[in-house]
Amino acid sequence: MNENITTKQGLSSGLSSEKARIFLEKYGPNILPKKKSDPWWKKLLKEFSDLMVVILIFASLLSFFLGEKIDGSIILAIVFLNAGIGFFQEWKSEKTLEALQKMVSPEATVIRDGVEQKIEAKNLVPGDLIVIREGDRIPADGKVVEVGDLKVEESALTGEPYPVEKEKDAPVFLGTAVVFGSARVLITETGAKTKFGLIAHLTLNTRSAESPLQKEIADIGIFVGKIAVAIVAVIFLLDYFWKGSKVVESFLFSISVAVAAVPEGLPATITIALALGVQRLAKNKAVVKKLSSVETLGATTVICSDKTGTITRNEMTVREGYFSDGVSASWEGIGWNSIGHITMSGLPKSSHASSLSVVLEIGMHCNEAIISPAGDAGVFSIIGDPTEAAILIAAEKFRNQSPGFPREVAEPTKKYPFDSSRKMMSVLAGNGKDGNVLYSKGAPEMILPNATHFFDGEKEAVMTPEKRAEFLAHVSELSEKALRVLAFAKKNIGGDVPKTPKEAEHSLVFYGLLGMIDPPRAEVPEAVEAAHSAGVRIIIITGDNPKTAEAISREVGIIREDEPRIITGDEMRAMSDGELTMMLYETVNGPKKGAKKYRDILFARSAPEDKMRIVSLLQEKGEIVAVTGDGVNDAPALKKANIGVTMGIAGTEVSKEAASMILLDDSFATIVFAIREGRIIYENLKKFIFFLFSGNMSELMVILAVLCFSIPNPFTAVLILVVNLGTDALPAIALSFEKGEKEIMNIPPRAPDARILNKQFILRIFRTGLLLTASVLAVVLWSLMNSGWSYGEGISEFEYEKLRSLAFATLVLSQLFVAFSVRHFRHSALHGLTDNLFLFFSLGVSLAIVLAVIYIPLLQVVFKTSALTGKEMAMVVYLSSLTLWIEEIRKFLLSRKLMKVETT
């Protein structure tokens, strides 16, 4: 607390309005620290900072300088289109995020001037006295000064799904939820000084990791820049020294060719591809805040996942029970749903009520939770302690099988509330005249020592040391399964009502045990298996206890070894970074002979700084790390990670602010869908980059060839722009719609330092560019020879027009065949022929542009072309298609080679 503001008057009537005003000026409003948002114009300017975009802007300015206003205008339009798409997508994500931010309570009930009143939570100050009740979210940090059986759910801070009992002088924290009871709380800290605020401050000061795609685009920009400089130098030298042109003419010509050869549509195509991925994710309940983030999950090598609310449902469920008459039971179904069969082994010794039914009856008496039907049949909403609600749901399932089981229980005569020292609660019910019954529920280590008898199915038998040991063994058995175990007992009491729990809770009759757990989400095991198949490592980092975390992780398939490495927060903090890194990368024998894999590892009882440290060490080893979480304690790691994934339903305001992606359905399966989507986007990026660069390379090679060998040049800069922006744009975008290879989730993640423009990829682009160049030069030479051209001579304007038409048509059609071929790098282009109908539409549009440029008279004048005969078009189609058939032969031979490797 900032100063000694706890006064006698403050504890009874709260602060005065004047004192509150002074404190508000001194301490500031009760709001969390938040990174100042950039103004819209600054966000828009950032869209123009990419190197590729800078090159295009420079190219546009040069075009205007050279008098090519049409060229300059087209390039500039592409630049603004790219910036507009990126700006709009991020703006839309921010608006979606604003609608999700609802963590901090907008109002608080405060006592000021002795009067209870509602005020905006942002106006709370240290020293305020507030009233909190069941269902409230606590609006600031404070300490309890008056309490009425208060239970607070603190999983947003601690990761623990169980409500915490709060007694007088116990601390309570901003953003946590009251699940039961009421209290008066003295506010000690507000805003940035709260526990939430300190973590939020840590998050704001954590730098986000640059995405692989951002690095990739930067590399491509550098590559294009180098190519542009090389083009200017080579063409200038050839034109000046070889052809003998003037210096200024040679320089302007080389600049114009370089401008025309830069893939103007690439930035816009990348942006559109990412935007399409964002839309597909949005349809599957994932909001992406930045376009580049959608691809990052595709590169993910490690997922560091929280447990509660991410892997599990955050809904307590009774799983098993063991009862004093020897009957055991298991419950099907999960969460707040009464649909699920109860399977019993062992039968009651008599027709009297079994111990199971009595245990559920005790659980209904010792219960402050409320369940009510919600929507679908069997589905309930709950108010109160999730553990107590789980008992009521278990009773509903039993009632479905035993309709005579009572729905209501008698009103209590007296309650003996739970407290942390007794670890149990009791309720007295009856009419007081004929006697009362005491129903008790609590920790087995407290109930069993107080039980002098047990119900054996027919009568109350004496509890011997041996029998007590037997029941304790069953407690251990249930606990080993990471179940939270409660014991149930009752006894008859005369007409007198015991005043204290000590007077009441002795000589109990034991009836049985119930084991419950926060169950995993139904879709998680399949998602985990898919992640493992994709070579993505999953590491659980949770604030929960080790046994529970291990059991859940084993159930969903994250842990598969008999002896995994389980490290608590205390153990981890005792390790050096080197020791912890060795633990993270410890290997064991894999499923295949001679293969090694990383040991399954789990972190329990972890603090926020522990998760940050783990993420940092993994990133130092070159890993692409995705972090999932929904609490304030997860926010720093979400910001530090390459991509942070938080929950839209259960996520806190701070975690949503820090994350890159928000799951609207809180489903772990959506993360795996995003991984697949990210991989598909990356593969599609490679496809249209290959398509665009191989086409541009062929254009340059043709120009260089005709310059070197003094052949009439068939292209103008404007005609090349028509190819780059007219006929290439739609097919490049259409390749973004490819659904991906079927085996895309059966291969390991690409290496973190892998780049699209690696040596092998560039050589492949060069090889395809040579094939395209050969096709164009072949049709050029064929046309020249047919016209009677002799080497070193010029040609007429009519022959130039025919030459341009043939070269233009061959170049475009060759590239369209490449677009069709590149839709699969490993499979035949005919594979999944109807998967991407937009590609066929785009190829049709591009072909229509070619025919228009060649056959429409007005366009013939603009582009200086002429119509082709049927024989000439047949030659064009034949030469253009050679790239497709050569590529199909290569894929066939490659598949045969791979089949031989697999069979051996």
CA distances from 685 to 211, 223, 597, 678, 845 (A): 15, 16, 31, 10, 21
Q: Give the gyration radius of the chain's Cα atoms.
A: 36
* Secondary structure (3-state) at 801: helix
| d(C-alpha 238, C-alpha 815), whole Å | 27
Q: How many Å apart are CA 337 and CA 341, to the nearest integer?
A: 11
CA distance 138 to 166: 13
Q: How far apart are CA 268 and CA 672, in angstroms?
A: 27
Cα separation, 736 vs 277, whole angstroms: 9
What does each C-alpha distance from 519 to 395, 398, 515, 525, 544 come to in angstroms? 18, 19, 12, 12, 14
The CA-CA-CA angle for residues 151, 154, 155, to 5°, reads 130
Residues 6+ apart with CB under 8 A from 899: none
429: number of CA atoms within 13 Å, CB side?
A: 16
Q: How far is CA 821 from the centre of its chain?
A: 33
Closest CA to 86 of 296, 292, 299, 297: 292
The secondary structure of residue 340, as a DSSP letter, is -
Q: Is 306 in the active site? A: yes
State the Cα–Cα distance between residues 489 and 453, nearest whole angstrom: 10
Active-site hit among 306, 325, 544, 610: 306
Strand 317-323 and strand 302-305: the pairing is: unpaired
**What Cα–Cα distance (Å) separates residue 711 from each residue in 79, 243, 700, 780, 786?**
35, 11, 14, 9, 15
Apex CA 428: angle with CA 423 and CA 429, to 5°?
A: 145
Residue 270 three-state SS: helix
Which H or E run includes 186? strand 177-189
Sign of CA dihedral 168, 170, 174, 176: negative
The answer to whether 288 and 278 have CB atoms below 8 angstroms apart is yes
- Please give the single-letter amino acid code of residue 116: E
Nearest to 606 by CA among 231, 308, 359, 221: 308
Angle at 229 between CA 225 and CA 233, to 5 degrees: 170
* H or E segment to which residue 272 belongs: helix 266-283
> Would you please indicate which residues are annotated as catalytic (active-site) residues?
306
